[in-house]
Amino acid sequence: MKIEAGSNNITEHPHDVKSRPYLCTVCDKWFTTKVNLKQHKQIHTADTLHSCTQCEKRFTTRRKLRKHKNVHSGKYKCTECGKCFSRNKDLTVHGRSHSGEKPFECAVCSKRFTRRDSLVFHSRVHSGEKPHKCPTCTKAFSRPGSLTTHIRVHTRDKPYKCSLCDKSFSTSSHLQTHKRHAHSIRRPHDCLFCGKRFKSSNVLKHHVYTHTDAKPFSCRHCSDCFRIHHHLKAHLLKSHNEGTWFTCHICEQKFSRTEALNIHLRRHEGLKLYLCEECPKRYYTSGQLRKHQQSHSDVKRFHCDLCGKRFRCKVSIVRHCSKCPAL
């Protein structure tokens, strides 16, 4: 008899799996104690997560929340950024992020790290060890946190909800990225080549590649190179059958990225989350909204080299240039 996660009367498994007798029936993961199972169950139920009152983070147990609160109120305070810690040891480790000190060195490639556990995880890049296996599919991971995040692909659990709209996310980092892109007007990162401004340094980095023609992500199977890492992952999946497809449970269409699948699912559900502030129109993606917002602007940044006519967006100028009267 299996011990189900939803059962009030949890008893031990009578035969095999003696070391881990407690089973979660949502994701089929086994646990050594009833307490561990109950804590795990909370990742499948967003309402039971414990929220920090001073930031957006949420935790599966009160103990983890109390430990996190030391970041805001711990007695050991970083003089550089104001972050607090409950132990002097943790403050010392954190201080390395400001000083640049990296005392732990990889014996294979000499790469250095600020933390010992970071070196352990990095060493698995060389050894190929991936001890954390998904109980639902064949994927395996070198870090336990990566497995926890991956499992949400199967459970569709999105415990991190945006306080400004109805959108939810599987990780806190995805939530922060969403709030920066969808709800913030700040664009602090500007391109030195063209002056265009961006909301994140990562997007700016990929934009700079368009000026330098750099393609830093190369395929290990062929000579193809790419500017963006997820373009390389899509290439490996489509051309070399390396990776995992994400399938729509409604129409069975396949996607190389979970983000693309999520956007596709919005179309089935009719969820247009991005609202134009100038008119009532709504859109499925932030890119569609940005393109639409150009129709409200008087700025025409793109011009035809043949006739000099100016346009607000790239799509309009591409259409014009194909049939320009000056051709």
Domains of the chain are 190-296 (3.30.160.60)
User: What pLDDT, in 10s, does the model give residues 49-75?
Assistant: 677 877 767 776 777 787 777 777 767
Q: Measured between alpha carbons, how far is 307 from 305 in angstroms, rounded to an integer?
A: 6
The amino acid at 235? H
pLDDT of 252? 87
Higher pLDDT, 24 or 194: 194
Helix or strand holding residue 59 (H, E): strand 58-59
Q: What is the mean pLDDT of the chain?
A: 76
pLDDT of 60? 67
What is the residue whose two structure tokens read 């990562």? 202
What percent of the chain shows pLDDT beyond 90? 0
pTM of the model: 0.41
User: What pLDDT, in 10s, does the model give residues 217-243?
Assistant: 888 889 898 888 888 888 888 888 887
- Pairing between β-strand 310-311 and β-strand 302-303 as defined by DSSP bridges: antiparallel
Q: Please, are residues 201 and 188 in contact by the beta-carbon 8 Å criterion?
A: no
φ and ψ of 310, to 5 deg: -110, 150
Q: Please, are residues 23 and 13 in contact by the beta-carbon 8 Å criterion?
A: yes
Q: Measured between alpha carbons, how far is 275 from 278 in angstroms, rounded to an integer?
A: 9
